[in-house]
Amino acid sequence: MQTKLKQYTIAELCDGFVYNELEEKGLYGLSGRLTIQPEYQRNYLYAEDNGKKEVAVIDSVLKRYPLGLLYFNKLPDGRLEVLDGQQRITSLGRFLTDKFSVMNNELPYRFHALPMDKQTLIENTTLLVYECEGSESEIKQWFQTINIAGIPLNEQEELNAVYSGPFVTKARTVFSNSRNANVQKWSAYVRGSVKRQDFLNTALDWVSHGQVEEYMQAHRREAHIDELQTHFNNVIAWAESIFADCYSEMCGLKWGQLYDDYHDTTYNQKEMTQRAAELMDDPCVKNHKGVFEYLLGGEVDTRLLDVRVFDEATKRRVYRRQTDDARRRGVSNCPLCAMGHEAHRTKVWGEKEMEADHVSAWSQGGATTEENCQMLCRTHNRAKGNK
Ligand SMILES: [Zn+2]
């Protein structure tokens, strides 16, 4: 791979700049010779958060701070593509075409309203560019290793760059598109940002059972995403078919994994929905996120719920009562030790050596109340297991 260091003024870079509002990307620069957002690049992010980042780019120029290196990929026909610097160039282009303002003497100014000397300063500021020529794989390998100023690429954005092609392009029109009307419905189950590729990443994770990169590699030349889309829709439809009500705790669960584990099991939607509502309201359930997997698994693994334990005052009262009673009768204060034949039959355990247990198991409807609390020695409590 060959690299050449070049200098361009901001006026040159932004000549012919067009911002596409619909796709939220900057298109061309250098009089049309430069493609600012090739298909493997991500959406423009600097306008988010009230445009703090794009304003910072202009402020840096006005203060003569360096903007950092830009990297362009030189194509065989001489055209250039931005490899790194897309967010900065788009900020500059948007400012030069009066898309946002910056503060000057405590007033907001669009570019063409700024004093002439400041306009000229911006236009004549030069930026350093590395122009790279090499094979597609060389460029992509290298693109994967450079760090993007300001907002580092996340894992999925990097994979989109490395495995760019018809598959990624098509997948992004569905899963990376904030105008897709389904996104709101999906947000009940999928956490993250459409623009930062979290939905695409989730869809790929589900269909590939965690093998995202291998899946992208295998499908990169395909122009359709049927399997990806169908599987994603199946998982969401399956979750909806079991739990009729939506809870915020459903968002971000491993639905793909739950689907793999349980979609062959038959569930009664009415019962499942009812049980979910009861457990969400149960003051003993501390981990509400675990409710859905607990129910899908047939209400066996109570660890998923992190069931609330007895409070210290209750434990102390029960310990006192049990220990006084045991001393009177000359037996162990652990009722299970007292029934045994070994040395512990008469052992009086210290408070710290005992743990609270539900006499009637919580999962069988036993309440977390003093009447249902007994203290057991550690060994017996752990052996009992099922809460
Ligand atoms: Zn015991």
**For residue 308, what pLDDT is reported?**
79
pLDDT digits (tens, 9 = 90+) for 335-346: 999 998 778 999
Distance CA 254, CA 131 (A): 43
Report CA(256)–ligand 1 centroid distance (Å): 42
Angle between helices 212-219 and 155-162 (to 10 degrees): 20
Report CA(107)–ligand 1 centroid distance (Å): 76
Is it the case that residue 199 has pLDDT exceeding 70? Answer: yes
Report CA(334)–ligand 1 centroid distance (Å): 5
Report CA(295)–ligand 1 centroid distance (Å): 32
Give the pLDDT mean for 246-257: 96
CB count in 10 Å sphere of residue 130: 17
Report CA(367)–ligand 1 centroid distance (Å): 22
Report CA(350)–ligand 1 centroid distance (Å): 12
Is it the case that residue 175 has pLDDT exceeding 80? Answer: yes
pTM of the model: 0.60
Is it the case that residue 148 has pLDDT exceeding 80? Answer: no
The answer to whether the CB of 87 falls within 8 A of the CB of 46 is: yes
Is it the case that residue 39 has pLDDT exceeding 80? Answer: no
What Cα–Cα distance (Å) separates residue 199 from each residue in 157, 173, 182? Answer: 12, 12, 11
Give the pLDDT mean for 27-35: 87
Report CA(380)–ligand 1 centroid distance (Å): 5
pLDDT digits (tens, 9 = 90+) for 76-130: 888 998 888 888 999 999 999 999 999 988 899 999 999 999 999 999 999 989 8
Report CA(345)–ligand 1 centroid distance (Å): 8
Report CA(324)–ligand 1 centroid distance (Å): 16
User: What mean pLDDT, rounded, does the chain reach?
Assistant: 89
Is it the case that residue 144 has pLDDT exceeding 90? Answer: no
**For residue 149, what pLDDT is reported?**
44
Neighbours of ion ligand 1 (CB under 5 A): 334, 336-337, 377, 380
**For residue 288, what pLDDT is reported?**
96
Confidence of residue 304 (pLDDT cuts 50, 70, 90): very high
Distance CA 95, CA 79 (A): 24
Report CA(301)–ligand 1 centroid distance (Å): 24
pLDDT digits (tens, 9 = 90+) for 355-381: 999 898 888 888 888 999 999 999 998
Report CA(377)–ligand 1 centroid distance (Å): 4
CA quadruple 111, 112, 115, 117: dihedral sign: positive
Report CA(337)–ligand 1 centroid distance (Å): 4
Report CA(385)–ligand 1 centroid distance (Å): 13
Give the pLDDT mean for 164-175: 91
Report CA(366)–ligand 1 centroid distance (Å): 21
Report CA(357)–ligand 1 centroid distance (Å): 12
DSSP for 325-364, please give it.
Answer: HHHHHTS-SSHHHHTSSSGGGG----GGGEEEEESS-GGG
Nearest 5°: CA angle at 365, between 295 and 380? Answer: 100
**For residue 150, what pLDDT is reported?**
46
